[in-house]
A and B are shown apart, each in its own frame.
Chain A
């Protein structure tokens, strides 16, 4: 039997160990209590330990893998643009107001695609800003100011 490494398995296992481990460390900081009266730390500690154990098993299986799963390409540009757009929205929606935040978020999102030209991007952003203002603020009466304090409103 040929032994090869399956890096995606190792990566997945690593993520589980990392997150599970962080929760275990955090849980130890809370009261564990007794079986009769479990404290706030007990359940996360148990589950966190289970996640770590499963992560180790997955990573271990990946190191002596029989079948190798392919990871494929990563669209770095899309990842960056979308994360940036979403964080921008969350950070500025209350400060800049609905309209400017929506417009910039939409524009940032269009950057995710390598195929979108500037003119299309601006048109899409403008259209989406109008549409979402009409749907969410006018139609659904969402209580978000259209223009925010950063713009002097």
Chain B
């Protein structure tokens, strides 16, 4: 059994003392950040990225991954306890989870979320381990034309999943790709759009873009109408679900896990789609649909499992193709590159200990989440009481210090202000920031492979259609584009997301 050998190698790496320790630190930090409203996992990972630069590569990636799924999970705690989802994917959890908390059943709601997340995390880890090697071996056969079409497909699919109109999402992607061209041209070395500033030759740092769009812009939104946050936190008494609860959550957890594992692979926020879809499915097949929105435990267990499974499987395109499915994955690409590893199909063969160690650490991380969250619930509740007036200066300050310490380059710091304002205005105009970041990270790949493919084909653009992999991906891209733009489908998309409000 190759899978078992691989997992054994993974666990032998992941169980090293320092790796378990930093996995723990990552999960703990991630949960803390997920609990604190006002800053999402993307900005957190971006800010903490510099801290991990001095670590061993595998340790750094384990910690960053821990922050990501820890934050994913922490968001559900606030969603249940104070009806404040820290992240869009936790919004569904708030519907029934907070209702349960108001009925004095916060404990079982939290337990359902924790158990669901753990089961989903376990299954998704195995799915990741099983799916990655065959996908990576397919990806190794990709030529530049195929890779160009793949990146294009990834970008276009991310629109279908973004909220807001497809036109705006498309414009945000293109803008991101455009901003990605700043810096030296890879083929000729010509500095582009740098205004003679040597500091810009390396391009705009993606951490600045992420911190600006997801950190600064988010804080500005929170400062729009300052209200003292309601410190009414539901009391958590009996955590253990009743026998009836336990019976009711088994099937939703399994269905949510399957849905999430499948949808998480999609670019552009599959985890959000996963939790919404799971909720819709549970409501539709339930014998008591009228209970949904009034504290149905299925409405917590299903989406939470889906969410966590998707968070895990969103690593599949990153590890096998080098394609980020999500802004956090885009930051993980940066972490790989800083440590001298090019993410993509070669990682699995060149760095097997790192690859399998990262996967095994995700299961360990899920165990740690389970151990951490339920006993420490009192601590998380106390963190909810930190006033925002203390929190937001801390976030801005740490963002500035963290960004500066990347390259000791003042331009990176100025960039967070620029992208903060740009992102804030665009968000207010109904443009979502995630596609911009994906475009920014994937833009250079798109350009490099476009140009390389054309050099190989001697300038003949038909190469994109004559190579079967490329042609198939382009057909899928067109289908995705049509689906996203067709008004009827767009309306249905609006219905899926309407339940968030």
Which residue numbers of A lie inside 8 Å of B, CB to CB? 8-9, 11-12, 15-16, 19-20, 23, 26-27, 30-31, 34-41, 43-44, 47-48, 50-51, 54-55, 57-58, 61, 69, 71-75, 78-79, 82-83, 85-87, 89-91, 93-94, 102, 105-106, 109-110, 112-116, 120, 124-125, 128, 131-132, 136, 140-144
Contact = CB atoms under 8 A, between A and B. Distances in A.
A44 B393 contact: no
Contacts of B177: 47
Contacts of B411: 90
Contacts of A82: 216, 219-220, 396, 417, 420
B130 to A, nearest CB: 38
A19 B397 contact: no
A142 B400 CA distance: 13
Contact of A105 (B181, B187, B400, B459): B400
B274 interface: no
Nearest to A94: B410
Given A35-B454, A39-B188, A58-B168, A86 B414 contact: yes
Given A35-B454, A75-B220, A106 B410 contact: no
Contacts of A50: 174
A47 B178 contact: yes
A79 B188 contact: no
24 contacts: A12-B429, A15-B425, A15-B426, A31-B188, A31-B190, A38-B450, A43-B447, A44-B192, A47-B181, A54-B170, A54-B174, A73-B224, A79-B424, A82-B220, A82-B396, A85-B396, A87-B414, A89-B400, A89-B401, A102-B397, A109-B397, A115-B389, A124-B389, A132-B401
Nearest to B225: A73
Contacts of A94: 408, 410
Contacts of A39: 188
A78 B397 contact: no
A60 to B, nearest CB: 10
B185 A40 contact: yes
Interface in B148-168: 167-168
Nearest to B216: A82
A58 B167 contact: yes
Nearest to A142: B405
B223 A113 contact: yes
Interface in B383-441: 388-390, 392-394, 396-401, 404-405, 408, 410-414, 416-417, 420-422, 424-426, 428-431
Interface of B: 50-51, 54, 167-168, 170-171, 174-175, 177-178, 181, 185, 187-188, 190, 192-193, 216, 219-220, 223-226, 228, 388-390, 392-394, 396-401, 404-405, 408, 410-414, 416-417, 420-422, 424-426, 428-431, 443, 447, 450-451, 454-455, 458-461
B226 A114 contact: yes
A8 B231 CA distance: 34
Nearest to B388: A113
Contacts of B168: 12, 58
A37 B417 contact: no
B171 A51 contact: yes
A82 B420 CA distance: 9
A43 B461 contact: no
A72 B450 CA distance: 41
A47 B172 CA distance: 12
B401 A40 contact: no
A23 B181 contact: yes
A109 to B, nearest CB: 4
Contacts of B188: 31, 39-40
Given A44-B178, A93-B404, 19 more contacts: A11-B425, A12-B430, A19-B175, A36-B455, A37-B459, A40-B190, A40-B192, A43-B450, A44-B181, A47-B178, A47-B181, A51-B171, A85-B396, A86-B400, A87-B413, A89-B400, A105-B396, A115-B389, A131-B394
Contacts of A87: 413-414, 417
B474 to A, nearest CB: 17
Contacts of A72: 224, 428
A80 B380 CA distance: 33
A85 B389 CA distance: 15
A44 B193 contact: yes
A90 B413 CA distance: 5
Nearest to A137: B401
A39 B451 CA distance: 9
A94 to B, nearest CB: 7
Contacts of B224: 72-75
A141 B50 CA distance: 12
B396 A26 contact: no
Nearest to B189: A40
